[in-house]
Amino acid sequence: MTAIEGRKSRIASNRSRGTTLDSDRRKKIKAAFTKFPATRILVIGDIIIDHFIWGSVSRISPEAPVPVVNVTGENLLLGGAANVLNNIYALGGEATLCGLIGRDIMGDHLLELIERLNSSTAGIIRSANRPTTKKTRIIAQHQQVVRFDREKTGPLQKEDLETMLTFLAENISSFQAVIVSDYNKGIVSGELMAALKKIVGKHPEIPVIVDPKPKCIERFSGATILTPNSHEAELMAGLEIRDEQSLAGAAALIQNKLKVDAILITRGEAGMALFEKGKTPFLIPTVAKEVFDVTGAGDTVIASLALARAAGLSLEEAAIVANQAAGIVVGKLGTATVTRAEILGTLR
């Protein structure tokens, strides 16, 4: 039995749509929220553009047994690491994205969407070696008919990696926190993570918060905080999570293997659990009352966690904020975002 398993976990108080906090803690969170606009976060990861095509279906094609969609609308949204950026701006923070897009029309659209946020595009590399990752979903009668992806995954070309690393080395000191948003497209490679570790190593005050995919997990060793979901934590630990004890066991295994300060395991409808080195596990039930769409909840979690941490809240308080934000975002349709006012409204 590990030290963590042996300890009883604390459970945050939670009532329907609000979390009950003592007034000092609420005040502290409220004060930290005022610092969000002065907080600069660096988001490194797989940049994606989400393309939605909306329409209606009234017949099956005579050409093949497929529905014919009559297109009524189309839109482009920031996805992957760019959705984390979007969440940070909705929360009133400031962030810069570092990753790769193609020299193509979707790359132009992406830059336009990012400029609309008033976010610097200096860390975005336009590569001749791969297209902008684009996920197209056709939605008819409120139902997804098909999704198709245009992408080239795998390791970066040397020249692209070098451009990214130069940007990171030259700019790291202007950020208060780093988020790594891994969508398995190849940006978050072992090489990138090793170089990032070296660069951030000179600034121990900057936390590196990683939303990991459970592949080659050694890449994440030495990160400050990991935010896997339960399934990812199971794969990372090689242990099935059945109950609180195995949850703590998985967290301890990952912590020991990767030497990270903390793990925040997001547990869908069960909320989240924070495991901090040397502390009692902290379990937070979800505050979601109605759930419409859980897409992108993980992006909301890492964005709010990083902002709250960079604004000076303890990790436990930052997790409460992230859980509140996620509980609100799953009650909205589509890949949505959350504001500080909405979070404060649910903190009593």
Ligand X SMILES: Nc1ncnc2c1ncn2[C@@H]1O[C@H](COP(=O)(O)OP(=O)(O)OP(=O)(O)O)[C@@H](O)[C@H]1O
Q: Is residue 19 part of the contact set for ligand X (CB under 6 A)? A: no
Which of 271, 307, 308, 328 is close enough to bind ligand X by CB under 6 A? 271
State the minimum distance, in angstroms, from the CB of residue 268 to ligand X: 4
Distances from the Cα of 17 to the Cαs of 258, 287, 317, 329, 345, in angstroms?
Answer: 35, 5, 17, 12, 10
In 77-219, where does DSSP find H-type helix? 81-90, 105-116, 158-171, 190-201
Q: Is residue 138 part of the contact set for ligand X (CB under 6 A)? A: no
Cβ distance to Mg ion smaller for residue 119 or 227 = 227
State the minimum distance, in angstroms, from the CB of residue 146 to Mg ion: 23
Active-site residue flag, 299:
yes
Cβ distance to Mg ion smaller for residue 249 or 298 = 298
Show Cβ contacts of residue 22 under 8 Å, excluding neighbours closer than 6 positions.
Answer: none
Among candidate residues 46, 182, 211, 299, the one labeled active-site is 299
How is residue 149 annotated by DSSP?
Answer: E
Strands, E assignment, the chain: 10-11, 40-45, 47-60, 67-80, 94-102, 124-127, 133-140, 143-150, 177-181, 208-211, 225-226, 262-266, 272-276, 282-284
Cβ distance to Mg ion smaller for residue 67 or 298 = 298
Task: Return the residue matching tokens 């121990």.
Answer: 204
**Shortest-Cβ-distance residue relative to ligand X:** 298
Gyration radius of the chain's alpha carbons: 20
Cβ distance to ligand X smaller for residue 241 or 310 = 241
State the minimum distance, in angstroms, from the CB of residue 62 to ligand X: 38
Site for ligand X in 289-308 (CB under 6 A): 291, 294-299, 301
Which span (52-60, 134-142, 193-201, 260-268) binds ligand X, by CB under 6 A? 260-268
Angle at 30 between CA 27 and CA 36, to 5 degrees: 150
Q: Point out which residues bind ligand X (CB under 6 A).
A: 229, 266-269, 271-272, 286, 288, 291, 294-299, 301, 323, 326-327, 330
Q: Which residues have a catalytic role annotated?
A: 299
